[in-house]
Amino acid sequence: MKSKDQLREIFFRYLDNRCSPQEVRQLLQYFKTEDRGQLYRLIEEQLRSPVSSDFEQNTEGKAFFERSHRKIRTSIKADKKAQSIYKIRRVIAIAASIAVLVGLGWMYRDELYELIDPVEMQYVNTKSGDRQQFQLADGSVIWLGPESSLSFPNSFRGAQREVTLKGEAFFEVAADKDHPFVIHTGEVNTTVLGTSFNVQAYERDLSVTVVTGRVRVVADKEQQGEVEVLLNPDQRAVFDGETKSLVKEEAPDASVMLARREGVFEYRGVPVENILSDMKREYGLILKVEGQLTNCTFYGTKKPEDDVYHFLEKMAITVNATMQKKGKTVYFKGNGCGVM
């Protein structure tokens, strides 16, 4: 090829099925050169282009394209043993099929795009006391809590944006009404279009607290059929992993999740056992609970700069319990708080 402009011209002539046999050979030969990146970009540009509205009415064209698509996939599977030329062959196969797409639409556009540039899964894991903030390909921002993991693709394709969470994370989801954002957490899926909310799913139990926007939480259909709840701001969904119940409740303290994502814990009548679990994950403590903490709740704030042992001592005094540190182990003993 003499220039990128000439390559582009021949490529679009190929899309219109106007290339001469010599030009087709030139185009396919270009995949073997070191400068084939330009041709990759042209193909990706077409894969991102709008779908033809005439495609659904062209039954004959659809059938022809489906046969071509099956042939491409079969050819690619056969080439997997030849790893050194695998990528070149698969792109050539796709390029050779592009002519049949003209005027027919892109019924398998996402699948073809995946063959050219496969999506890679990314994994972020945190340890005790570790928090990470990062951005996904769609612009959504995630604050991942301690002892948590999130898996997500390096690029979102298809009808939904899907991620998988274990542990806790605060989400600020980029709005995209055509591509819902779905969080998989064990037996529960949370779907949003664009909003901010916190998800806690360390064990089989789960809670989703909405700060802004609207969220749909659905329990595993195999377990619960069509059980779902719709959440608005200052509402929370709670899933019980043992009973499989999914309930909605008011969450007037939802705004505390904004501070929590930065490691600031604001407790407003929170069960002491839940607070101890937070401190264990946040500071990597070895905590042993003795006696009973039934009905014990606490009001207070724990900031990152506050000494965790002093905080636990203050909480123990408040709920008529004792806290003792022995080496790296903290013993928290209570006799229950009765009905408040």
Per-residue model confidence (pLDDT) at position 229: 93
Q: Is the pLDDT of residue 167 over 70?
A: yes
Report the domain count for the chain: 3
CATH code for the domain of 213 = 2.60.120.1440
- Give the bridge partners for 189, in sequence order: 184, 218
Per-residue model confidence (pLDDT) at position 120: 86
Residues sharing a CB contact under 8 Å with residue 70, sequence separation 6 or more, in sequence order: none
Domain boundary among 81, 116, 151: 116
Q: Is the pLDDT of residue 179 over 70?
A: yes
Q: What angle do CA 110, 116, 120 make, to 5 degrees?
A: 80
Per-residue model confidence (pLDDT) at position 193: 83
Taking residues 269-273, report their average pLDDT.
Answer: 92
Helix or strand run (H / E) with residue 85:
helix 83-97
Within a domain: 211: yes
DSSP state of 98: G
In this structure, the answer to whether residues 152 and 37 fall within a common structural domain is no
Average pLDDT value over all residues in the chain: 78
In this structure, the answer to whether residues 251 and 268 fall within a common structural domain is no
In this structure, the answer to whether residues 251 and 294 fall within a common structural domain is no
Within a domain: 25: yes
Within a domain: 340: no
Taking residues 83-99, report their average pLDDT.
Answer: 48
In this structure, the answer to whether residues 186 and 313 fall within a common structural domain is no
Q: Which among 310, 322, 253 is positioned nearest to 283, based on CA atoms?
A: 310
CATH code for the domain of 293 = 3.55.50.30
At 192-204, the pLDDT tens digits run: 988 999 999 998 7
Within a domain: 153: yes
Q: Is the pLDDT of residue 151 over 90?
A: yes
In this structure, the answer to whether residues 239 and 127 fall within a common structural domain is yes
> Domain residues for 135?
121-256
Residues 332 and 1: their CA atoms lie apart, in Å, by 75
Q: Is the pLDDT of residue 108 over 70?
A: no
In this structure, the answer to whether residues 59 and 141 fall within a common structural domain is no
Within a domain: 10: yes
In this structure, the answer to whether residues 304 and 252 fall within a common structural domain is no
Neighbours of 297 (CB within 10 A): 18
Residues sharing a CB contact under 8 Å with residue 189, sequence separation 6 or more, in sequence order: 182, 183, 217, 218, 220
Residues 179 and 159: their CA atoms lie apart, in Å, by 5
In this structure, the answer to whether residues 208 and 111 fall within a common structural domain is no
**What is the signed CA dihedral for 193, 196, 201, 207, rounded to 10 degrees?**
-100
Q: How confident is the model at residue 63 (pLDDT cuts 50, 70, 90)?
A: low
Q: Is the pLDDT of residue 80 over 60?
A: no
Q: How confident is the model at residue 107 (pLDDT cuts 50, 70, 90)?
A: very low
- Highest-pLDDT range among 94-108, 167-181, 213-227: 167-181
In this structure, the answer to whether residues 247 and 169 fall within a common structural domain is yes
In this structure, the answer to whether residues 103 and 18 fall within a common structural domain is yes
Within a domain: 238: yes
- Is the pLDDT higher at 335 or at 103? 335
Per-residue model confidence (pLDDT) at position 89: 47
In this structure, the answer to whether residues 10 and 95 fall within a common structural domain is yes
Q: Is the pLDDT of residue 315 over 60?
A: yes
In this structure, the answer to whether residues 160 and 68 fall within a common structural domain is no
Q: How confident is the model at residue 49 (pLDDT cuts 50, 70, 90)?
A: low
Per-residue model confidence (pLDDT) at position 309: 94
Per-residue model confidence (pLDDT) at position 10: 72
Within a domain: 288: yes
Q: How confident is the model at residue 36 (pLDDT cuts 50, 70, 90)?
A: low
Which tokens belong to 175?
């709005």
Within a domain: 236: yes
The two beta strands, 149-153 and 265-271, are unpaired
At 202-259, the pLDDT tens digits run: 987 899 999 999 999 998 756 546 688 999 999 999 998 888 889 999 998 898 999 9
Domain boundary among 116, 133, 149: 116
Query: Which of 27-31, 142-146, 230-234, 263-267 has the lowest average pLDDT?
Result: 27-31
Residues 52 and 73: their CA atoms lie apart, in Å, by 23
Domain boundary among 237, 256, 275: 256
